Structure 1
Amino acid sequence: MAVDIAHHAVNALPLKIAVIGALGIGAQWLAWRLQRPAIVLMAIAGLIFGPLFGYLLGFNMPAPIAHFLEQLRLNPVNDFGDLYRPMIGLAVAIILFEGGMTLRFKDLGDSRHAVGRMVFVAAPIAWVLGAAACHYIVGLAWDISVMVGGLFVVTGPTVIMPLLRQAHLKSRPANVLKWEGIVNDPLGALFAVGGYEFIRFSQTEASMFFVFGKLAFAAAFGTLVGIVSGVGMAWAFRRGHIPEYLKAPIVLAWVLLIYVIANRLAEETGLLAVTALGMTMANTKFAAMVEMRRFKENIAIILVSGVFVILTATLTPAILIEFVTNWRVLAFVFAMMFLVRPIAVMLSTLWSGLTWKESLLISIIAPRGVVAVAVAGLFAAELNALGRPDGTLFVPLAFALVFATVLFAGFLIGPISKALGLAAGGGHGVMIVGANPWSLGLAKAIKDMGVPVTVADTNWRRLRGARLEGHTTFYGEVLSENADYSLDHSAFTSLIAATPNDAYNSLVCVEFAPELGRHRVFQVPGSDNDESDSDTIAFTSRGRTLTSRGRSFDSLTRDWWGGWRFRSTNLSENYTLDDFYKDRGDDLDLILAKRADGTVEFIQPGQEARAEGATVLSFCPAKDTELGRGEGAKKSGGLSGPANPLPT
């Protein structure tokens, strides 16, 4: 009988893993569609397929329904058995390594001093105040309160990064929040480890000096190993000692090895080691850096989705009841959000270069994430094993704080940043790469429709027309490392590559596609050939085709000098696209359609119907009266041309 049960559990495990993956990625996709925090939707999915399904199975119901729920129900501790804890630990290590790879010191800019204050001053203050809040509000003993206060200095990078993409903050507060979230995650875990080691060794006759000396040595050693191995890995990449196809797998394997080695010295110091490894590689130049970062980001998204669904599914009805009904838990969460965090941030950022508005925003935006929940679950079990059952309150405290801070930050970071004047704009802006007469005319036409435009070019003189029109300009190579931190990526959500070089246009689109989405990067073709033509660049290695007829740069430029201009026209039930074609002819090019809600949709070949009911921008022949701004220009929209059509 026992063998049959074990065999059934093994057979059910692939289904459980598939369900976890589907729930996690499905929640990520739904969050993208709804523009809401993904961590909340992942938590809801875990609650439904975990404790809720378990609760429903306690009722009498038809056997087929009960069997169906049992097959889909997630009970990770039982499903994964002894693999549960190490699996979560390895996943968190990879997540923190990927976060460390986004931290480049040159990105700090003028926020360098503030980030140092947040890590080395705000974190210890928050630790002390958090421990006091836990002791006096929740009523836990001082030793466990120190663990709780230490862990909750973290602000989850898995939550911060999507929030920053959603809110479009100005660079300085965004940098502070990003760096604090990634660096403080392993530090918070280390603070909690210190508290746990104190409790564990206080039950023996070991010297406290020995306990904390061992912990300090392990942390320093783990950090050193991470730095040295990161430098060595980058050196091997540059020298060609590792083939391209093995670079990402070797780094992934090395991250896991570093994590395990550091954890052998002291529990959770591996998180510090892998973060140091990621930061070292991020600040060491080697050619495969961009591909490496994208590979790790894809893995991190999958792991974050799965880990949070798993952790939420481990909750029991008893913990959920404690979460909702215990006023001490709710009071503790309130104190951590609106007393501990603001006091720590405000004190630490005095004379740091931040304005009071930036400090205020940072003080109230502190969402906790996966690491807080994972480490809390780990130490709750360890404390219970040490005969401290009061440590089980660690889990409801962690989940309550995560839910409250994520919901607060996710729904209010946008309105708060706008009210404080710290939003960078964003919206539906367009970046045009390549300043030439035709693209400058397009930029002016788009701007006249109320859509902000950024024009980029490597030639300062070619940008003169864009500057005269009042466009935001970027002088430099958009593919360079300099553009990664000096170009305001929050100012645009779509890109048009409009240079005479088709290969360069394709390269720009491929570079920006992972950030903006492939459906938002467009290029002017190099020829009028069909995309399936064997002589053209492969469809997978280029952007989407701009304009409804997909004409080449030379063709569009020739028509520009032949008198064609850009026209914006309001289409409606009374004046349809067919009416517009009758007035203007069928040989015009449709560029984009702007909806009533402000969204912008570019029109590709075969998608002309999408212009119905919107304000459409077209490139069409201009009549003589229109060139003179005559009566014909007033009927269906204005004509747009650049202030300085000739490059100077």
Structure 2
Amino acid sequence: MSTAATGALSPEVALAMIGVIGVGAQWLAWRLRMPAIVLMLVAGLIVGPVTGLMVPSRDIGAIVEPMISIAVAIILFEGGLTLNLHRLRDAADGVKRLVIVGAPVGWFLSAAALYFVAGLDWAAAIVFGGIMIVTGPTVIAPLLRSARLSRRPAMMLQWEAIVNDPLGAMAAVLAFSFVVEFRQGLDFDGSLIRLALAFVLAGAVGWLAGWLVVQAFRRALVPEYMKVPVLFVAVLAIFVLTDFITHESGLLAVTMMGLVIANSDLPSFIELRRFKEHATILLVSGVFILLAASMDLGSLQLLGWQGIAFLLVVIFVVRPATVLLSLLGTAIPFREQLLVGLTGPRGVVLVAVAGLFGERLVGIGVEDGHRIVPLAFALVATTVILHGFTLAPLARALGLASTDTPGLLIVGGSRFSTALGKLCQSIEVPVMVTDRNFYRLREARKAGLPNYYGDVLSEGAEVGVDLMNYGMVLAGSENDPYNTLVATDLAPEFGRDNVFQFQREKEHLARHALPATLGGRSFGRGAGFVDMDRLMVEGWELRATRLSEEFTLENWREMHPEGFLIGRVENGRMRLMRDDAEFTPAPGVQLIAMVPPEPEAGAGDVG
């Protein structure tokens, strides 16, 4: 309950506000197609320093720092879960250079900018410089999807963000531990030796914990419904235990633990990682709102010209120099290097880790530690807004953006898949047909359609199929369970409304019904694979018909009474749909439909 005399909120109300504001800001950003991080920053500042409605140090008190510490630990554990070393080995040489060379170079140059331009103390500079390695995978992914870059620069930016996410936090742990040892009076060599021992111990504990979790899961010592709770408890226990044994090493231990689990080929790994991603969204939202609400507006004003100069140097000097030095001598064209170098949005992980170490630096007497969080917020807001508006135009100017409309990915080769692919090509919608059976792709290959032989859910497909060029998925194989698996697995990537599948056999029966969270949306008349294949054998055709003022949807239905819609093209974007779906049949919309053989000729038919 609220305390009227002081205006303070009870801890329960404050925590509820943090959750509602954080998740609400992310939902609103999704509706408005804006970067969520910007709305979260604005919301946090409004409820915090602007209005004073919520002051975390007053309303939540002593648990603020432990909350941030635990949240950062779980976020970094989830970051470790994304580091599949098999995929990294298969990644392009440019990605490896950006990680192996770019991380230390970026750390050094960022620390130099913080020390010489922003005027930070050397201790704060090397700690925050390590954190600045992070480029924000949760931020870069939507930017890449909207800008639709060419494959190689998009892959470099995406992989760099994924791998450097936990590396930046580990660099901060390394730098902070060195600062602590050095300020305790040890010489340089002594500090490095103790630091190396602490890191070896933390890495060993994290590896052992990850191995034990893998063995317990693999030998069915933990029931399926308890795997996620056990994983959470294990992460918290290892973080606290390692921190107790060796101060500030818990973050390294949980990151190593995630790395071990990610490379163990657990059957339930995808489900574990997906749940962790959902938990990370909640934690990231909470930490971001918490830190923004804790901000002192006076500290933002203190940034002054030094802060502005620092932002300019980081964006236009440090980041490009890091990328160009990392990719020096590679076969990657200069324009691609330049695009990557001028694209470095920072995300919420940077703010979360900066908030944690900023407080700890102040705690050991480094006064400039309180300047880290304002600088982190300024860097995140500036880079997200700047790259959000400039990435697509810059890519087009450099000739590295796809000018095609978002395409259709068809999983499953068949007569219908080939016909739909040919129709997509005729109306200039990118299309690709994939199948695990080489023979079923024969017709698609004969028709000259782009195709991929392999499982679209495999690791190889991440290299062979450029998912960013496609806005929709049709799971259209003859295997109903596989279609459901594909639709369920790709729904988080494309959005559930953009993933469709053939209707399953006996789907209308209650005993065969699936939960709404599984599978994709049906289309057309809800036809299954067998139905569509039979219609194709009988001579039915796929046709695209453009509506006009004179030729309306009603006219089309009169002309093709037996035909049924499976989609439409509107404003240059294709959309699959059910025959009975409601939409506004405006002039210029192209209807995509199945029609019987030898339909009566009509105005507007183009296919």
Indicate which of 105, 113, 119 corresponds to 1:139: 119
Alignment of 1:302 with 2:282, yes or no, is: yes
Q: How high is the sequence identity, in percent, across the aligned residues?
A: 41
Asked whether the equivalents of residues 483 and 519 of structure 2 are also in contact (C-alpha less than 8 Å), the reply is yes
Q: Where does residue 105 of structure 1 map in the other structure?
A: 85
Q: Where does residue 367 of structure 1 map in the other structure?
A: 345
Indicate which of 523, 535, 551 corresponds to 1:546: 523
Looking at structure 2, the residues matched to 385 and 458 of structure 1 have their Cα atoms a distance apart, in angstroms, of 57
Structure 2: stretches of 5+ with no match in the other structure:
none
Q: Where does residue 534 of structure 1 map in the other structure?
A: 510
Q: Where does residue 412 of structure 2 map in the other structure?
A: 434
Q: Where does residue 600 of structure 1 map in the other structure?
A: 574
Q: Where does residue 65 of structure 1 map in the other structure?
A: none
Deviations 1:24-60 (A, max 9, x none): 2222223323333221121111112111212xxxxxx
Looking at structure 1, the residues matched to 65 and 414 of structure 2 have their Cα atoms a distance apart, in angstroms, of 58
1:482–1:552 distance in 2 versus 1, CA, 3 Å: same
**Corresponding letter in the other structure for 2:38:** V
**Corresponding letter in the other structure for 1:637:** D
Q: Where does residue 218 of structure 2 map in the other structure?
A: 238
Matches within 5 A, 1:215-364: 215-323=195-303, 326-364=304-342
* Cα deviation, residue 85, structure 1: 0.9
Alignment of 1:455 with 2:433, yes or no, is: yes
Secondary structure, in 3 states, of the residue corresponding to 1:591? strand
Asked whether the equivalents of residues 553 and 585 of structure 2 are also in contact (C-alpha less than 8 Å), the reply is yes
Asked whether the equivalents of residues 127 and 152 of structure 1 are also in contact (C-alpha less than 8 Å), the reply is yes
Secondary structure, in 3 states, of the residue corresponding to 1:575? coil
Q: Where does residue 16 of structure 2 map in the other structure?
A: 18
Indicate which of 45, 51, 54 corresponds to 1:74: 54
1:111–1:352 distance in 2 versus 1, CA, 3 Å: farther
Secondary structure, in 3 states, of the residue corresponding to 1:241? coil
Indicate which of 28, 31, 35 corresponds to 1:30: 28
**Corresponding letter in the other structure for 1:132:** A
Asked whether the equivalents of residues 3 and 10 of structure 2 are also in contact (C-alpha less than 8 Å), the reply is no
Structure showing greater Rg: 1
Aligned-residue RMSD, C-alpha: 3.0
* Cα deviation, residue 617, structure 1: 0.8
1:48–1:405 distance in 2 versus 1, CA, 3 Å: same
After TM superposition, the score normalised by the length of structure 2 is 0.90
* Cα deviation, residue 109, structure 1: 5.3
Looking at structure 2, the residues matched to 509 and 147 of structure 1 have their Cα atoms a distance apart, in angstroms, of 43
Secondary structure, in 3 states, of the residue corresponding to 1:358? helix
* Cα deviation, residue 87, structure 1: 0.8
1:24–1:390 distance in 2 versus 1, CA, 3 Å: closer
Indicate which of 539, 545, 551 corresponds to 1:569: 545
**Corresponding letter in the other structure for 2:37:** I
Asked whether the equivalents of residues 108 and 175 of structure 1 are also in contact (C-alpha less than 8 Å), the reply is no
Secondary structure, in 3 states, of the residue corresponding to 1:290? helix
Asked whether the equivalents of residues 107 and 485 of structure 1 are also in contact (C-alpha less than 8 Å), the reply is no
* Cα deviation, residue 11, structure 1: 6.7
1:520–1:133 distance in 2 versus 1, CA, 3 Å: closer
Secondary structure, in 3 states, of the residue corresponding to 2:51? helix
1:196–1:553 distance in 2 versus 1, CA, 3 Å: closer
Looking at structure 2, the residues matched to 534 and 227 of structure 1 have their Cα atoms a distance apart, in angstroms, of 46
Q: Where does residue 39 of structure 1 map in the other structure?
A: 37
Q: Where does residue 477 of structure 2 map in the other structure?
A: 499
Q: Where does residue 48 of structure 2 map in the other structure?
A: 50
**Corresponding letter in the other structure for 2:36:** A
1:89–1:418 distance in 2 versus 1, CA, 3 Å: farther
Deviations 1:552-599 (A, max 9, x none): 4333333323332122111233322111112222x211011111x212
Asked whether the equivalents of residues 82 and 162 of structure 2 are also in contact (C-alpha less than 8 Å), the reply is no
**Corresponding letter in the other structure for 1:241:** L
Structure 1: stretches of 5+ with no match in the other structure:
55-72, 627-631, 640-648
Matches within 5 A, 1:408-423: 408-423=386-401
Q: Where does residue 556 of structure 2 map in the other structure?
A: 580
1:590–1:48 distance in 2 versus 1, CA, 3 Å: same
* Cα deviation, residue 285, structure 1: 0.9
**Corresponding letter in the other structure for 2:542:** F
* Cα deviation, residue 146, structure 1: 3.2
Matches within 5 A, 1:513-532: 513-527=491-505, 531-532=507-508
Greater shift, 462-471 or 113-122, is seen at: 113-122
Asked whether the equivalents of residues 173 and 251 of structure 2 are also in contact (C-alpha less than 8 Å), the reply is no
Looking at structure 2, the residues matched to 436 and 190 of structure 1 have their Cα atoms a distance apart, in angstroms, of 49
Secondary structure, in 3 states, of the residue corresponding to 1:108? helix
**Corresponding letter in the other structure for 1:543:** G
- How many correspondences in the alignment? 605
Asked whether the equivalents of residues 524 and 546 of structure 1 are also in contact (C-alpha less than 8 Å), the reply is yes
Alignment of 1:446 with 2:420, yes or no, is: no
Looking at structure 1, the residues matched to 244 and 162 of structure 2 have their Cα atoms a distance apart, in angstroms, of 23
Looking at structure 2, the residues matched to 271 and 35 of structure 1 have their Cα atoms a distance apart, in angstroms, of 33
After TM superposition, the score normalised by the length of structure 1 is 0.85
Secondary structure, in 3 states, of the residue corresponding to 1:463? helix
Alignment of 1:392 with 2:370, yes or no, is: yes
Q: Where does residue 621 of structure 1 map in the other structure?
A: 596
